[in-house]
Amino acid sequence: MSNVLAIAQKELKGYFASPIAYVVIGFFALMFGYFYWALLGFFVEQSARMMGLQGGPTQNVNEQMIRPVFMNASVLLLFTLPMVTMRTYSEEKRSGTIELLLTSPITDFQIIVGKFLGAMGLYAAMLAVTFIHMGVLWAFGTPEWKPLVTGYLGLLLMGGCFVSIGLLISSLTRNQIVAGFVTFAVFLMLWVINWVGPFMGPRVQAVLDYLSITTHLDDFTRGIVDTRHLVYYVSFIAFGLFLTARSVDTERWRG
């Protein structure tokens, strides 16, 4: 465990010692703020209109404002997380520091989990910045806090899937740009994989819907923690890390 922590801390410090952390957090905070502002404006306008109508439906800030903000934020992960994971392994391979890690008395899996936790630490910091946005809502209204918590949990798990794939792809190449771009391409594919579902027949559609990484986020943003989705995300992450371990091991044989 202390080895895992050592690697995770090193990774996290590495992000903040280079511009990556600041660029990624800055971009995420900016775009999140923009979505928040746009959707809040829309919600306020909508509420004003509804108040004019007698007996109109009551407005719910969780359903009509926070939930779309979460869904939009998940799009941002598509762009930001490849930047976080692209250098995890490729940089170590290119600079030769991978020799230090692989000849130290730690296991490959400790290295991988350490790197995963390091990237997740940065991602958590990214999400933490947005607590400010959400906190402001309490100053002017009374949103429910539970769907907010599950929404963040959903985003964290979905990001975990992306990070584990990002690690895998980074372990396959020593070129950061290639790693970043391929990671982005794979994320995008996982995003839109169920778009062709409706005209592929119900059976294929069910499979594609299950594979699509976004369909599982929906319930979380509604305040529902469904074990199906939990199992999906957790097994996705575990599988990604497992494949990374295989990839690092084959790399040893190839030299």
Partner 1 sequence: MIEVQHLTKRYGPVTAVDDVSFKVERGEILGFLGPNGAGKTTTMRILTGYMPPTDGKAVVGGYDVQEQPIEAKRRTGYLPETPPLYPDMTVRDYLDFCARIKGVPRAERLGRVKTAMERTRIADVAHRHCGKLSKGYKQRVGLAQALLHNPDVLILDEPTAGLDPKQIIETRQLIKQLGGDHTVILSTHILPEVSQTCGRVVIINRGRVVAIDSPENLTSRLRGSETMFLQIDAAGADPKDTLKAVAGVTQVRVAETRGPVTVLEVESSQGRDVRRDLSAAVVNRGWGLLELRPMRMSLEEIFLHLTTEDTAGAAAESREVPVE
Mutual orientation of helices 2-17 and 20-52 as an angle, nearest 10°?
Answer: 80
| Residue with Cβ nearer partner 1 (9 or 47) | 9
- Show contacts with partner 1 in window 178-197 (CB under 8 A): none
Shortest reach from residue 28's CB to partner 1, in Å: 22
| Residue with Cβ nearer partner 1 (161 or 248) | 248
The site for partner 1, by CB under 8 A, has a size of: 26
> What tokens appear for 127 in the block?
């999400």
Binding mask 8-47 for partner 1 (x = CB under 8 A): --x--xx--xx-----------------------------
Shortest reach from residue 70's CB to partner 1, in Å: 33
**Binding of partner 1 at residue 3 (CB under 8 A)?**
yes
CA 204 – CA 245 distance, rounded (Å): 31
Distances (CA, A) of 2 to 9, 101, 113: 10, 15, 12
| Backbone dihedral angles phi then psi of residue 214, each to the nearest 5 degrees | -80, -30
Shortest reach from residue 92's CB to partner 1, in Å: 9
Answer whether 188's CB lies under 8 Å from 177's CB: no
Which residue, among 236, 192, 186, has the nearest Cα to 212 in the 3D structure? 192
| Residue with Cβ nearer partner 1 (103 or 227) | 103
| Backbone dihedral angles phi then psi of residue 160, each to the nearest 5 degrees | -60, -40
Shortest reach from residue 110's CB to partner 1, in Å: 9
- Show contacts with partner 1 in window 194-253 (CB under 8 A): 252-253
CA 73 – CA 35 distance, rounded (Å): 8
Amino acid at 251: E
> What tokens appear for 89 in the block?
């392994």
| Backbone dihedral angles phi then psi of residue 54, each to the nearest 5 degrees | -75, 135
Shortest reach from residue 168's CB to partner 1, in Å: 20
- Show contacts with partner 1 in window 89-148 (CB under 8 A): 95-107
| Residue with Cβ nearer partner 1 (203 or 254) | 254
Binding mask 42-81 for partner 1 (x = CB under 8 A): ----------------------------------------
* Residues contributing to the site for partner 1 (CB under 8 A): 2-3, 6-7, 10, 13-14, 17-18, 95-107, 252-255
